């Protein structure tokens, strides 16, 4: 019997254009170096708290603009999943793991975990899909036991997946992922897991009580915090640095140096 491998998967791309769909990042510092440091902070926290044996993978490439990264990432994920029996835990670089956490072997289906902002997809371009509970794609789990037909569903939906550098293409991959996830008919009480994936998109501008109400969960009991780094990468870096210091997280010693 072939052993099933566990992979912690992330990505770090060198993006030539400073135009990020809705904003120009040219005055925000070197995005490649800033996000590399964010990735290192994230993975250092994961190494301290993620339970089980796993191998770290970081997809790396050079692309013209940010809209291309998601489509390229899904290509790499599909290839890895079909290469060998494996479980893939996909986590964005702007996420801090803050307590011991079990992911591998905990789910048999493809999983997303919590809302994004806004919570409902309103049917705007590129597809007229209304998604009542629109989940965030910065944390996903692809078990070896998931229905392989979901990859066919992805390929069909992604045929018209534009990668133009505009706001219309931002989140295309997240829309596809949501269609895949909700097609599995997972009950809401199992589907919504803010305990595993707490959203902190308004921190520090909003009080924590407001974020707790939005998540329907207390941040003090959460396992992973998603800081939404694209909203202010340098501020998020400072927060993640402080969190790791308080929690006694050692410096990163992984594959992205």
- Say if 256 falls within a structural domain: no
pLDDT tens profile 143-173: 999 999 999 999 998 877 766 666 666 778 8
- Strand ranges across the sheet with 198-199: 95-97, 224-226, 198-199
Q: In whole angstroms, what is the distance from residue 43 CA to residue 254 CA?
A: 8
Other C-beta atoms closer than 10 Å to the C-beta of 144 total: 16
Predicted local confidence at residue 167, as pLDDT: 63
Q: In whole angstroms, what is the distance from residue 59 CA to residue 77 CA?
A: 9
- Say if 62 falls within a structural domain: yes
Q: What is the mean pLDDT of residues 213-222?
A: 98
β-strand pairing of 55-63 with 5-15: parallel
Residue 126 has pLDDT above 60, yes or no: no
Which residues, 6+ apart, have CB-to-CB distance to 241 below 8 Å? 41
Contact 142, 88 (CB under 8 A): yes
Contact 203, 227 (CB under 8 A): yes
- Say if 120 falls within a structural domain: yes
Predicted local confidence at residue 163, as pLDDT: 63
- Say if 253 falls within a structural domain: no
Q: List the Cα angle 78/236/23 in 5-degree steps.
A: 75
- Say if 242 falls within a structural domain: yes
Q: What is the mean pLDDT of residues 195-222?
A: 97
Predicted local confidence at residue 70, as pLDDT: 83
Tell me which of 133-142, 153-162, 209-218, 224-233 is least confident: 153-162
Both tokens assigned to 20: 């990020």
pLDDT tens profile 87-105: 999 999 999 999 999 999 9
Residue 127 has pLDDT above 60, yes or no: yes
- Say if 18 falls within a structural domain: yes
Domain that holds residue 48: 5-246
Residue 22 has pLDDT above 80, yes or no: no
- Say if 201 falls within a structural domain: yes
CATH of the domain at 193: 3.90.550.10
- Say if 161 falls within a structural domain: yes
Domain count, the chain: 1
């Amino acid at each position: 019997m072939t052993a099933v491998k566990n992979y912690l998967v992330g990505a770090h791309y060198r993006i030539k254009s400073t135009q990020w769909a809705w904003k120009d990042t040219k005055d925000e510092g070197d995005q490649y170096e800033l996000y590399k440091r964010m990735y290192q902070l994230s993975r250092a926290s994961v190494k301290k708290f993620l339970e089980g044996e796993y191998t770290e993978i970081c997809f790396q490439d050079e692309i013209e603009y940010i809209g291309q990264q998601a489509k390229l990432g899904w290509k790499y994920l599909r290839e890895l999943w079909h290469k060998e029996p494996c479980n893939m835990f996909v986590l964005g670089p702007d996420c801090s793991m803050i307590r011991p956490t079990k992911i591998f072997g905990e789910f048999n289906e493809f999983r997303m975990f919590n809302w994004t902002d806004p919570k409902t997809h309103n049917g705007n371009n590129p597809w007229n899909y209304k998604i009542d509970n629109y989940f965030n794609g910065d944390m996903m789990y692809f078990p070896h036991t998931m229905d392989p037909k979901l990859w066919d569903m992805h390929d069909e939906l992604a045929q018209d997946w534009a990668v133009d550098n505009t706001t219309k293409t931002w989140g295309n991959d997240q829309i596809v992922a949501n269609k895949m996830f909700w097609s599995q008919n997972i009950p809401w009480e199992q589907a919504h897991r803010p305990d595993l994936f707490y959203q902190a998109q308004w921190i520090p501008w909003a009080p924590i009580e407001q974020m707790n109400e939005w998540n329907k969960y207390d941040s003090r009991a959460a396992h992973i915090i998603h800081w939404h780094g694209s909203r202010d990468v340098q501020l998020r870096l400072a927060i993640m640095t402080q969190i790791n210091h308080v929690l006694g997280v050692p410096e990163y010693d992984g594959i992205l140096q």
